[in-house]
Structure 1
Amino acid sequence: MSSCAKEETNKTEQAEEGYEPTPLALQTPVLFQEKLDSPVIPADNPQTVEGVALGKKLFFDPILSGNNTLACAGCHIQEEGFSDSRQFSPGIDGVEGRRNSMPLFNLAWNHKETFFWDGRAISLENQALEPVIDPVEMHNTWPNAVSSLQAAPEYPELFAKAFGTSTIDSTLVSKAIAQFVRTLISGNSRYDQYLRGEIELTQAEQNGLNVYKDEERGDCFHCHGTPPNNLLWTDNDFHNNGLDKTFDDLGRGAITGDPREFGLFKTPSLRNLAYTAPYMHDGRFETLEEVIDHYSEGLVYSETIDPLMKAVGEGGVQLSEQDKQDLKAFLLALSDESFINNPDFQNK
């Protein structure tokens, strides 16, 4: 045992002495390069082969939770667009939160650097810190989580290879997870293929795109971007989209303390809607039909409702049944089957 321990120590020391992580460029779709600004990569956390591999291992490892039963991947499931098909994800104690798990993709292009439904995290690194200590999620402490990692036979060496030190801390854990999350890139939907000239949209999808862009009908583009220039399908901003008259959950306003932001939540991306149900911050809508019906005839006035909800006085934009069907067809064309099946993102 003494010999084995000495051998492991030597391996770690060698990794620290020869610390040369391998740079890893993001696999950025050509359309993203043409239409979007460069991704946000912090100077103190560049993408590396070793960092991403470590982050991926940590993402799928329940070791970060208080009882070693829940990993990040437990609430961010690849087949579900790295979201959760349950309305509320239960934590290690079986307690459910009050918000639906947000999907994880294309977050490297969030230049506003506000994360979570209420924007309380100011970077991907900061976002990765919170679930570990949240009593409703992993219900752990960082000293305990770090102690578990430090005592694990493989982790000190992996941290040495990724960051040049076998001494683990929460900052390095969050950096590694953030590196992996930045690789979760989705850019191969039917609409992307259409923009690349590889396919044609169906008549219903084309009609739905027209509804999406029509300010008098769908009027979706103000919050979700004008195609083909905003391929993120979100403005990464916060809006009150007419869900409620009063708010049990203050959303962005709970973070800023500004009453004008009560009931505002982050605009989710429209990508991968085929996989990310249920919808809205509280998962209240199980189907896309319900979402479309909300904007068509279900808008509710409140003091902080966004001015972009111009049709609130009429209850919504009053889409015809044909417009609803076509809009749904277009929205589903934003889903990327290759993303939810990408082996690079799987636990293997």
Structure 2
Amino acid sequence: MYACSKTEIVKPQTEEIRFVVPSNFPDAVYKFDGNILTNNGFALGKKLFYDARLSADKSISCGSCHQQFAGFANLDHKVSHGVNNCLGKRNAPVLFNLAWQREFFWDGGAKNLEIVPINAITDICEMGSDLNTIVTFLNNTAPYPSLFKDAFGSATINSQNLLKALTQFTAAMVSANSKYDKVMRKETVFNPEEQQGYQLFKDKCANCHTEPLFTNLNYINNGLDLNSVDEGRKTITGLVSDKAKFRVPTLRNIELSSPYMHDGRFNTLEKVLEHYNVGVQANENLDVSLSKDSQLGIPLSNIQKQQIISFLKTLTDDEFIKNKIFSEN
């Protein structure tokens, strides 16, 4: 048996864990069919999410690259930082509202939420392990057998239930109670600058960052480079027309989840908007919305940029960010 601290305490989850579709959201894609959300399953998924012993050198957990205070992104790391101080090639995306996605990662390489953790588990620059090694570890490490029995009815752990538990935890991460949401529910109002920013956002940004998820879930090239080193979506589809296209990220909690873009090249929202103002490159796959009337990008004055940022800050969901049911401790 692997050693386990005698002082380790697994706190029971007393608050009932529920998945509720917000009133202003579309229906979710992930239905929890065959993976019924329970307190025991959620608590197990949370424990697994924060357990660095699942990585090859026992140093990296899912929570290492997906920090709650950063919207479950990786604050101040341009790209994922894994075992043996290995650096990946892409920025760690936020983890919330995953139940509304049909595809995952910057390139859409995973088609089912339940298989998403496999990428981080097996990637040599992330957790650097494999499912068989982790399952063996879990089967021989208290209190995991009893926790799996509580969650799934069997103390014999397999990879399917490992992935289901992680999915119960991550799929239950719903962020939908920002100031923006409260305005939409007519519980409060935007201040004048936020209102101006909201109107500008709808005029200039909403084509890709569509309400209420603030992403259209498509893949576009936004002119970061004339010739991109990272082929993006093309690595999945093989299509030249998909080269250097990446998933449109959600803007919810964007105030907290820097750095930005698939490679983390911008560390402030000001720099992001300045890119769209004057930095868009004429890539062969540039999205048509960024090349209108022979002009690249989205012209923005300094005042307009600040107004948009004021609106974007209304997408911060403090309740979600500080919700202890998702916290490690």
TM-score by length of 2: 0.92
Q: 1:323 aligns to what?
A: 304
Q: 1:240 aligns to what?
A: 221
2:179 is aligned with 1:190: yes
CA distance in 2, matches of 1:108, 1:35: 11
CA distance in 2, matches of 1:24, 1:333: 26
What SS does structure 2 have at the residue aligned with 1:333? helix
Q: 2:80 aligns to what?
A: 89
2:40 is aligned with 1:47: no
- The alpha-carbon distance between structure 1 residues 336 and 24, as it changes in their structure 2 partners (threshold 3 A), is closer
2:163 aligned residue (174, 187, 208): 174
CA distance in 1, matches of 2:159, 2:252: 31
Are the aligned partners of 1:251 and 1:265 in contact in 2 as well (CA < 8 Å)?
Answer: yes
CA distance in 1, matches of 2:188, 2:209: 23
- C-alpha displacement of 1:311: 3.6
Q: 2:68 aligns to what?
A: 78
CA distance in 2, matches of 1:146, 1:67: 16
Are the aligned partners of 2:253 and 2:316 in contact in 1 as well (CA < 8 Å)?
Answer: yes
Are the aligned partners of 1:301 and 1:312 in contact in 2 as well (CA < 8 Å)?
Answer: no
Q: 1:108 aligns to what?
A: 99
What are the superposed Cα offsets for residues 15-67 of structure 1, whole Å, 9 maximum, x if unpaired? xxxxxxxx953144xxx234411452242222122111110110011121012
* 1:68 partner amino acid: K
2:147 is aligned with 1:158: yes
Are the aligned partners of 1:311 and 1:317 in contact in 2 as well (CA < 8 Å)?
Answer: no
* 1:33 partner amino acid: S
Alignment of 1:268-279 (within 5 A): 268-279=249-260
Q: Percent identity?
A: 39
What SS does structure 1 have at the residue aligned with 2:288? coil
What are the superposed Cα offsets for residues 126-160 of structure 1, whole Å, 9 maximum, x if unpaired? 10111111100011122111111111011111111
Alignment of 1:1-348 (within 5 A): 24-28=17-21, 32-85=22-75, 86-110=77-101, 113-214=102-203, 219-225=204-210, 230-311=211-292, 313-348=294-329
Are the aligned partners of 2:24 and 2:212 in contact in 1 as well (CA < 8 Å)?
Answer: no
What SS does structure 1 have at the residue aligned with 2:241? helix
What SS does structure 2 have at the residue aligned with 1:221? coil
- C-alpha displacement of 1:198: 2.1
What are the superposed Cα offsets for residues 289-341 of structure 1, whole Å, 9 maximum, x if unpaired? 01111111211111111122234842322112211111111111111112111
CA distance in 1, matches of 2:299, 2:118: 43
What are the superposed Cα offsets for residues 274-293 of structure 1, whole Å, 9 maximum, x if unpaired? 11000000000010001111
Greater helix share, structure number: 1
CA distance in 2, matches of 1:118, 1:312: 29
Larger radius of gyration, structure 1 or 2? Answer: 1
- The alpha-carbon distance between structure 1 residues 329 and 34, as it changes in their structure 2 partners (threshold 3 A), is closer
What are the superposed Cα offsets for residues 177-225 of structure 1, whole Å, 9 maximum, x if unpaired? 01100111111111111122222211111001111112xxxx2111111
* 2:171 partner amino acid: R
After the TM superposition, which segments of 4 or more aligned residues of structure 1 sit over 2 Å from their partners?
Answer: 32-35, 310-315
- C-alpha displacement of 1:109: 1.4
Runs of at least 5 residues in structure 2 that lack an aligned partner in the other structure: 2-15
Q: Number of aligned pairs?
A: 315
CA distance in 2, matches of 1:342, 1:313: 47
CA distance in 1, matches of 2:40, 2:294: 55
TM-score by length of 1: 0.87
Q: 1:18 aligns to what?
A: none
- Of residues 291-300 and 42-51 in structure 1, the stretch that sits farther from structure 2 once superposed is 42-51
* 1:100 partner amino acid: N
Cα RMSD of the aligned pairs, angstroms, is 1.8
CA distance in 2, matches of 1:200, 1:336: 16
